Amino acid sequence: MPKLDPHTVELNGSGYLSLGAFTGRLIIIVIVAAVAVALWKLTAILALLFGAILISIGLLAAARAVVRRTGARELFAVIGIFIAVVLAFAGAFWFFGATTVSQINEVIRMAPAGYQLVMDRLNEYSYGRQFLEQARGANVLGATGWATSAVTAVVGFITRGLAYTVITLFVAIYLAVQPDRYRHICLRLVPPKFRLRTEHLFDVTTNILLRWLIGQLVVMGAIGILSGLGLWALGIDAAFALGLMGGLLCFIPYVGAVMAAVPATLVALTQGPLYAVSVVLMYMAIHFVEGDFITPLVQAEATSLPPVLAILSTVACGILIGAPGILLAAPLTLVLMTFIEVLYVQEGLGATPELTVRHK
């Protein structure tokens, strides 16, 4: 029987590990666990960083398009595009600001009234009263409480959202101005034998996110215009604000369409049941056109999510990350799908690549 050195630790019953090596491995495990806990606690910051990366991809693509056509420096192109976008939003707000604010106030005023009409109608039937009693027992209903809590939540969400948006934009500018620097930092953390594969993964992921972002912006614009015009044609109050809300919420696939239809239907209820039915049918028709014609034209199969996956990923990201997770669920899921495609399906199973990369 070999003599045991007091400075060694038995390893799997087949050998001995020096105390220093054992302590080093233990420290590494503790550090990895601490980093994992820190990342879990900082999910909101990671979501902010991912949002900044997504914006920087769009900024950089637009800047490189300008550089190819004008020969300007990439730095000036990025800054110029950012300033142009900010001025465009400021001009749109100045031109439509008063109308938008007044119509949003009108939506906030009329939506609870529509909600109350639904409650009154349910009270007219025995099964409706039974449902309301059970809901009140679960403390999920009550017109006044609902309206107050909803307004408070919206105000808090907007305040936090504005702060996060400002930080995200500044981070995005820095990423877009010096993309190679941050790419090099990430690649330095990868073992040398895996760097080429990691670079390929970066290229594929960037290409997928860029194509998704462009397609989503086109879809949002189309939905906002169609829903605003449809509501205006039906004679619904605050059609412009509701159309704008519909376009913005369509950034969230499938779930955003339902979220946009709810306030429009509540506002229409205050004008009459037929108006509400017309609004529901209009949204159904618009999203049928969007799902079968607009989205297939502007987004490739590789950048579109199956409906079930889009809904489940939105719910999962909302539970894990909160509101930022809901907004970023689609691109996050696309990144995960890209990782699985490249690292497992292509590298592990040897399947033929289905994702194409457009090199700069």
Tens-binned pLDDT, residue by residue, of the chain (360 aa): 455 455 444 444 445 556 666 677 788 888 888 877 777 777 778 888 898 999 999 999 988 888 888 888 888 888 888 888 888 777 766 765 555 556 566 666 666 666 666 666 666 666 666 665 665 554 444 444 444 455 455 555 566 667 778 888 888 988 988 888 898 888 888 888 888 888 888 898 999 899 888 888 888 888 888 888 988 888 887 778 788 888 888 887 777 778 888 888 877 877 777 888 888 899 888 888 877 777 777 766 556 677 788 888 888 888 888 778 888 888 998 898 888 888 888 777 776 666 544 444
- How big is the CA angle at 324 (ends 320 and 325), to the nearest 5 degrees? 40
Burial of 268-284, coded b for 16+ CB within 10 Å and e otherwise, reads bbbbeeebbebbeebbe
- How big is the CA angle at 278 (ends 273 and 282), to the nearest 5 degrees? 150
pLDDT recorded at residue 360: 43
* Strand-pair category, 15-18 with 8-11: antiparallel
Q: Tell me if 224 is assigned to some domain.
A: yes
Q: Tell me if 304 is assigned to some domain.
A: yes
Taking the C-alpha atoms of residue 313 and residue 255, their distance in angstroms, rounded to an integer, is 11
HSE toward the beta carbon, residue 204, CA cutoff 13 A: 22
DSSP state, residue 252 = S
Cβ(175)–Cβ(49) below 8 Å: no
Q: Which helix (H) or strand (E) holds 343?
A: none
Taking the C-alpha atoms of residue 172 and residue 226, their distance in angstroms, rounded to an integer, is 31
| CA neighbor of 230 nearest in space, from 179, 280, 194, 186 | 280
- The SS3 call for residue 236 is coil
pLDDT recorded at residue 77: 87
How many independent structural domains does the chain possess?
1
| CA neighbor of 60 nearest in space, from 173, 169, 202 | 173
Helices (H), strands (E): how many in the chain?
Answer: 13, 2
Q: Tell me if 303 is assigned to some domain.
A: yes
Cβ(116)–Cβ(132) below 8 Å: no
Q: Tell me if 11 is assigned to some domain.
A: no
Q: Tell me if 21 is assigned to some domain.
A: no
Q: Tell me if 93 is assigned to some domain.
A: yes
Cβ(53)–Cβ(30) below 8 Å: no
pLDDT recorded at residue 138: 47
DSSP state, residue 125 = S
Taking the C-alpha atoms of residue 326 and residue 156, their distance in angstroms, rounded to an integer, is 16
- Can you give the residue range of the structural domain that contains 180? 45-346
To 10 degrees, what angle do helices 323-339 and 307-321 make? 120
Taking the C-alpha atoms of residue 230 and residue 217, their distance in angstroms, rounded to an integer, is 20
Task: Record the pTM.
Answer: 0.70
| CA neighbor of 243 nearest in space, from 224, 262, 259 | 224
pLDDT recorded at residue 53: 92
Q: Tell me if 200 is assigned to some domain.
A: yes
Q: Tell me if 311 is assigned to some domain.
A: yes
Which amino acid would we find at residue 315? V
For residue 29, report the phi and psi dihedrals to the nearest 5 degrees: -60, -45
Taking the C-alpha atoms of residue 61 and residue 55, their distance in angstroms, rounded to an integer, is 10
